[in-house]
Amino acid sequence: MPPIDFNGLDTAVHGPVRLGVLTALQMDGPLDFTTLRKQLDVADGVMGLHLRKLEDIGYITCKKSFVGRRPRSTYRITSSGRKALAGYLHAMQQLIDAVEAEGK
């Protein structure tokens, strides 16, 4: 089996919450904080931490608005985020293919 480069994995995408955020935004389009938090079943603080990290590296953007008197933060995946997610999924698919080939 050829060596697999685990060092090339984007660690910003690799965590389950961040991977979940990017996947949800890619599949469902823009989502607000509450929807993302409920879909991923995590606490507010955990969600906020991961959203901030993804926003800081440019994988998502945040638009803040008000609905009535309530603030709403809506997140959208960026082209960099799409590219990072696609690259990560490609690396995982290569790993899956290698493991399946070894098992035959």
The full set of domain ranges for the chain reads: 11-99
Which CATH code is given to the segment(s) 11-99? 1.10.10.10
30 Cβ neighbours under 8 A, 6+ residues apart: 63, 74, 75, 76
pLDDT at 2 over 80: no
Q: Tell me: the pLDDT tens digits for 28-41?
A: 999 999 999 999 99
The whole-chain average pLDDT of the chain stands at 92
CA dihedral 16, 32, 75, 7 (to 10 degrees): 0
pLDDT, tens only, 8-21:
788 899 899 999 99
Q: Which region among 2-16, 38-52, 54-68 has the lowest average model confidence (pLDDT)?
A: 2-16
For residue 47, which amino acid is it? Answer: M
